Structure 1
Amino acid sequence: MPMPNLPADPLWPRAGDWPLHLGGPADLALIGIPTWRTSLSPTSAHATPAAVRAALRRYSPYAASLDGRNLDELVFADAGDAVEPDGDGEPIATALMAAAAAPATLTVALGGDNAATVPAALGAWGSDLPSAGLVTLDAHHDLRDGISNGSPVRRLIEAGLDPRRIVQIGIADFANSRAYTERALDLGITVVPRSALHSRPLADILAEAFDVAGSAGGPIHVDLDVDVCDRTVAPACPASVPGGIAAHELRAVARAAGADVRVRSVDITEIDALLDAPDGRTVRLAALCVLEVAAGIASR
């Protein structure tokens, strides 16, 4: 998605002007994990990390809701992108993710399709995997057999994640099969369907989710699969459906994740930047989620 020339104003700084390296401790580290080759649907999700970085510059680092604090007070770093993160390249992505996470309070991984969740989470958890927890915002269970963007949760369980510390929020009707729903329940995964968000405050659901995921005292990874959103706000997500969550709800989850000290890492996945609407609404939403995570860190 081409980025138009943006006006320069010394009194209106732009977000995203962060150093492309990790020279020391950071509050937020960014890394691209552009998985796409094993996607169940044809995708150009590998183009998304660059598009989100560009879209960040559309926004200011100032959030009035933080009582006048400016996100520029935080230390940001960008570890670049993993090279060939699919298949045999996954260990490389995991190593890069670990390198990015080590000196940072919180790491945000930009996908790529949802296969990016595997290296993102494993790299951030490291040796803490036995006590780790996972919270997903997703229309799908991602428990499919095989290796694809439909299997990251199953693969994390097989790697050693206790499914009783997994919470899936936003699971949609007509987006899953009976077999995989039964698999989730049999494994002991906590499932919060999309319909529950109509009757319960999102803040309460998130508080419970973080308590379940963090019940063993380990780090939490939050997977923001943007296809959990309504298709009107996420047209670049091949599997988004009408009736998904609103953009402001996804942003609220991103900020809550950044604010919770138990959250070590967040990924933003399932966007094909080349399929976005002409106004770039899906990529812009992803960029705003990066900023919301940072705002959450600033509020700690």
Structure 2
Amino acid sequence: MTAAALPHDPLWPRAGNWPAPDAGDGPIDLALVGVPTWRTSLSPTGAHGTPAAIREALPRYTTALMPDRSVFRRPQREMTIADFGDVTDPDGAEGEARTRNLVAEAARRARLTVALGGDNSLTVPVALAAWGNALDTAGLVTLDAHYDLRDGVSNGSPVRRLIEAGLSGRRVVQIGIADFANSREYASRAAHYGITVVHRDELHHERITDVMAEALEIAGAAGGPVHVDLDLDVCDRAVVPGCPGSLPGGISAWELRRAARAAGADPQVRSVDLAEVDVAADAPDGRTVRLAALCVLEVAAGLATRP
């Protein structure tokens, strides 16, 4: 059933279908930007179709928290969410420049920007644009099965590229790094950069909310803006069959959703991206895309709790 065919119920308002920003300078709480990167992916992917698929999945949900915990509200008013549309052909140097321009505009006008990927190469231009001139104090938190420290320019290199651009590795935290999905060489590179790594096995003994709180504290230690990369392949492959790099034994959908809400709630988080979902490889029930859509709503729910 497509979103257009969903039943109408005035007492069950649907999420999504948020308008484009108006020409004025009115307050925007959350900005959506589609960044359909895919050309440099290390594995075949249809990730360029994912931003549209997430938007189509959003109306399957409401904005209400249960039990009776409110809709997305700021003090005295409803939250304002605007959709800035998609970057055209965001891959390559010119595409990254276009991405940075659109994300910078969204970040200028909104308290929090959520970028809908696309493969993980979107993290570089999105983070740099959201950080603006604060790269020397910025921080990064990734939820990812992989280090993303490879050489070259691909969806396997964004963390290395950001560090080489000037981000301090000591304000980078990587959560969910998996066994049998990385190499000793890249583990050594992470240690050399001073990255804080939380391996997948460690999450069996820690609450994801506690891990996120510590990670955000480390990333925000210099008082600068923080970017959170939600690479859905950190989840168990049964949960995210549409992620080419996912493994059996990853984190649960609930844990990812908790992490997304924690990111939205932290005042230093200026931007979040959702990455590595190949809509063309998803299960027939659309579970991967639907989880990505729920992460958008979880980020917004977290934002609604900010002071």
TM-score, shorter chain, exceeding 0.5? yes
CA shift, 1:67, in A, is 2.7
Match of 1:243 in 2: 249
- CA–CA distance in 2 between the matches of 1:274 and 1:165? 35
The answer on 1:76 being equivalent to 2:81 is yes
Please list the CA deviations of residues 105-161 of structure 1 after superposition, one character each: whole Å capped at 9, or x if unmatched.
100000000001011101100101110000000000000000000000001011111
Query: Does the CA-based 8 Å contact 2:103-2:126 persist in structure 1?
Result: yes
- CA–CA distance in 1 between the matches of 2:286 and 2:82? 25
The answer on 1:299 being equivalent to 2:301 is no
CA shift, 1:4, in A, is 6.3
CA shift, 1:66, in A, is 7.2
Match of 1:35 in 2: 37
Match of 2:116 in 1: 110
- CA–CA distance in 1 between the matches of 2:53 and 2:174? 27
- CA–CA distance in 2 between the matches of 1:186 and 1:70? 42
- CA–CA distance in 2 between the matches of 1:298 and 1:60? 15
Give the 3-state SS of the residue equivalent to 1:149 in structure 2: coil
The answer for unaligned runs of 5 or more in structure 1 is none
Match of 2:19 in 1: 19
Of all paired residues, the percent bearing the same amino acid is 66
CA RMSD of aligned residues (A): 1.4
Query: Does the CA-based 8 Å contact 1:66-1:299 persist in structure 2?
Result: no
Match of 2:127 in 1: 121
Q: Which shows bigger deviation, 115-124 or 201-210?
A: 201-210
CA shift, 1:68, in A, is 2.5
- CA–CA distance in 2 between the matches of 1:228 and 1:203? 16
- CA–CA distance in 2 between the matches of 1:169 and 1:235? 20
Matches within 5 A, 1:228-267: 228-267=234-273
Give the 3-state SS of the residue equivalent to 2:133 in structure 1: helix
Q: Which 4+ stretches in 1 moved above 4 angstroms? A: 1-4
Query: Does the CA-based 8 Å contact 1:21-1:80 persist in structure 2?
Result: no
AA partner of residue 259 (structure 2): V
AA partner of residue 14 (structure 2): R
- CA–CA distance in 2 between the matches of 1:235 and 1:266? 22
Equivalent residue in structure 1 for 2:207, among 201, 220, 234? 201
- CA–CA distance in 1 between the matches of 2:151 and 2:72? 45
Q: If the length of structure 1 is used for normalisation, what is the TM-score?
A: 0.97
Query: Does the CA-based 8 Å contact 1:113-1:270 persist in structure 2?
Result: yes
CA shift, 1:206, in A, is 1.0
Please list the CA deviations of residues 259-290 of structure 1 after superposition, one character each: whole Å capped at 9, or x if unmatched.
11011100000001111100000000000000
Q: If the length of structure 2 is used for normalisation, what is the TM-score?
A: 0.95
The answer for unaligned runs of 5 or more in structure 2 is none
The answer on 1:180 being equivalent to 2:174 is no
Query: Does the CA-based 8 Å contact 2:3-2:60 persist in structure 1?
Result: no
CA shift, 1:207, in A, is 1.1
- CA–CA distance in 2 between the matches of 1:30 and 1:22? 14
- CA–CA distance in 2 between the matches of 1:222 and 1:82? 20
- CA–CA distance in 2 between the matches of 1:66 and 1:186? 48
Query: Does the CA-based 8 Å contact 2:242-2:288 persist in structure 1?
Result: yes
AA partner of residue 37 (structure 1): R
Change (3 A) 1:37 1:182: same
Change (3 A) 1:215 1:22: farther
Match of 1:55 in 2: 57
AA partner of residue 270 (structure 1): E
Query: Does the CA-based 8 Å contact 2:264-2:301 persist in structure 1?
Result: yes
